[in-house]
Amino acid sequence: MSSQPVSAVASGSFVIGGDLPVNRLGYGVMQLTGPGVWGDPSDPEEAVRVLQRAVELGVTLIDTADAYGPFVADLLIRKALHPYKENLVIATKVGLTRSGPNDWRPVGRPEYLRQQVELNLRHLGLERIDLLQLHRIDPKVPLEEQIGELALLQKEGKIRHIGLSEVSVDQLQSAGKIAPIASVQNLYNLAKRDAEPVLEYAEANQIAFIPWFPLATGALAKSGGPLDEISGRLGLKPSQLALAWLLKRSPVMLPIPGTSKVAHLEENIAAAGIELTGEDFAALSKLV
């Protein structure tokens, strides 16, 4: 048996927006910040090591946001990985403002979105953002103004592709009439699948589906629970099983599990090499 670590390449690939290939198992950076996603991490050097190790293990999709820290995650990415490898896609988000730990408020005014795009570019050290996602739709601002500003930035060459986060199928369709939408990032995991209609729409339209909070398995993973039983039988961690299930669930699925520790990162990436049988996949799917 090879002692070589599993690479994210084993998760397969997906082409975002028709021209941006990534390995399907990515990495989300939110946990690299301080408590409440506010301020610096307790161990900045480990945060840098995590980012560098993720790329070493074949991760080509890193998901961040100006709101993480704020800006702390972006600056860590630049410190760890700049100059960037040609195949590395850094997806970021705009549309939330921060006033303290665990405080998130949507602001979708065009001038604010433009400012955040410019700050993302500066902090990440990029000339163009490959995937810019609207973190939340601001209910106080017409959708046409929010997506329209991103489309304008796209025409200016500052954004390659536009994505959305936490939206319904109707919102996804409405936004798609204003500008092409390449990705959608909604809460989705083995234990919580409310976004199933959005996933089905994304799959039917070749839109990347990025499930956030992919490892939240809740009571399913408790000692003696059904996920614990199956993972024990297969010799896997419940989190690895949850990721393997997501990867098998849909070819447009791009999980971005986050962690602040190299050891946990390596454990997550190893899920790329897990091939669930149809029987095990069906058993896991029936848990909720």
| Lowest-confidence segment of 190-199, 208-217, 237-246, 271-280 by average pLDDT | 208-217
Q: Which residues are catalytic?
A: 68
pLDDT at 143 > cutoff 90: yes
The model's pLDDT over 34-64, given as tens digits with 9 standing for 90+, comes to 999 999 999 999 999 999 999 999 999 999 9
pLDDT of residue 221: 67
| Residue 142, both tokens | 């017409």
| Residue 198, both tokens | 């959005």
Q: For the domain 20-285, what is the CATH code?
A: 3.20.20.100
pLDDT at 1 > cutoff 50: no
What's the Cα-to-Cα distance from 242 to each of 118, 123, 181, 182, 287, rounded to whole Å?
36, 33, 27, 25, 12
pLDDT at 101 > cutoff 60: yes
pLDDT at 275 > cutoff 80: yes
State the Cα–Cα distance between residues 283 and 280, nearest whole angstrom.
5
User: Which whole number is the average pLDDT over 146-156?
Assistant: 98
pLDDT of residue 218: 66
Q: Where are the domains positioned within the chain?
A: 20-285
The predicted model scores a pTM of: 0.95
pLDDT at 235 > cutoff 60: yes
